[in-house]
Amino acid sequence: MIRTHSELLAYIESLVLKRPDFFVTELISPKEKIIQQNKRYSYLYIIKSGIVKCYLSDENGKDFIQEFLSTGMEFGELEVFSEKPSFCCVESITKLEVFKISYTDFNKLLDTDTNFSRLILKAMAKKISYKAPRHSYQQSYPIEDNILKLQELYPGIDKIISKKDIASYMGVTMRSLNRALNTLKHKPVK
């Protein structure tokens, strides 16, 4: 649920030393919108520490959280390739430390540094293989099953992420989430 990629972070940190002109370090406070849907940007980000949520919001005001990203995860990179405006929002949950790099410099790195290019490919492959089973499971199983799975994989997640966000992540209303939690409490059958 909260995704990380330590290998990428390590490599980025080594790059920052080699090419300090490419990267800007930034501190961001909680609840800040870093990327807004349908806007154009020219920078992408790699998280050094902290957690962001990455979500799509539709015209009805319903938000749907794609993933929670943490150390070593990049965001805003897809637009480099698609050349379209951002298709999702990114907002900090905790306070954040990020590396920022311009599309231009990112492209330079891709073209000249095979290791880097490889890591980005890997990062994107990870994003895809993560999304697919989640999407599938969420559609195929009732809420209770999804909660159980979440608790199993990420015990104590509710202390970090608000319930509202957990509900948005699961694609259900908070009412349904609460009911499911209650019935699980009262019949911890297995």
Partner DNA sequence: CGCGTAATTGAAAAGTATCAACACTGGTGG
Partner DNA sequence: CCACCAGTGTTGATACTTTTCAATTACGCG
Question: Which residue from 10, 32, 64, 158 is in contact with a second copy, where contact means CB under 8 A?
Answer: 64
* Contact flag: residue 190 with DNA (CB under 7 A): no
What is residue 178's three-state secondary structure? helix
Candidates 67, 79, 77; CA nearest to 38 is: 79
Tell me the number of residues near DNA by CB under 7 A: 17
- Least gap, CB of 92 to a second copy (angstroms): 19
Residue 93 contacts which entry, a second copy, DNA, none (Cβ below 5-8 A, type-dependent): none
Beta bridge partners of 96: 28
CA–CA separation, 97 and 82 (whole Å): 26
Contact residues for 112 (Cβ-Cβ < 8 A; gap 6+): none
Smaller CB separation from a second copy, 126 or 179: 126
Question: Which residue from 3, 48, 53, 127 is in contact with a second copy, where contact means CB under 8 A?
Answer: 127
For residue 161, CA distances in Å to 90, 121, 182 come to 15, 29, 19
| Per-residue x/- track, 20-59, a second copy (CB under 8 A) | ------------------------------------x-x-
CA–CA separation, 70 and 46 (whole Å): 9
Cβ atoms within 10 A of the Cβ of 55, count? Answer: 20
Residues that bind DNA (CB under 7 A): 142-144, 162-164, 171-176, 178-182
Residues that bind a second copy (CB under 8 A): 56, 58, 60, 62, 64, 66, 77-78, 80-82, 84, 87-88, 110-111, 114, 117-118, 120-122, 124-129, 131-133, 135-140, 171
